[in-house]
A = this chain, B = another copy of it.
Amino acid sequence: MERLKQEIRENGEVRDGNILKVDNFLNHMLDVELLNDMGKEFYRLFKDEGITKILTIEVSGIAIAAIAAQYFKVPVVFAKKVESQNLDKELYTSKVFSFTKNREYIIRVSKKYLNEADKLLVIDDFLADGNAMKGLISLAEQSGAEVKGIGIVIEKGFLDGGKELREANYNLQSLAIVDEMHQGEIRFRE
Contact = CB atoms under 8 A, between A and B. Distances in A.
Nearest to A109: B28
B80 A28 contact: yes
Contacts of A89: none
Interface stretch (A19-27, A157-165, A169-177): A19-27
Contacts of A59: 58-59, 62, 78, 82
A76 B32 contact: yes
B73 A33 contact: yes
A120 interface: no
A36 interface: yes
Interface residues of A, number: 37
Q: Is the interface of A mostly helix, strand, loop or mixed?
A: mixed
A75 B32 contact: yes
Nearest to A110: B28
Contacts of A65: 30
Contacts of A88: 23
Contact of A24 (B30, B63, B112): B112
Nearest to A113: B29
Interface in A1-57: 15, 19, 21, 23-24, 28-33, 35-36
Nearest to A35: B66
Interface of A: 15, 19, 21, 23-24, 28-33, 35-36, 58-59, 62-63, 65-67, 69-70, 73-78, 80, 82, 86-88, 109-110, 112-113
7 nearest A-B residue pairs (beta carbon): A30-B76, A63-B66, A32-B69, A29-B113, A58-B59, A62-B62, A29-B77
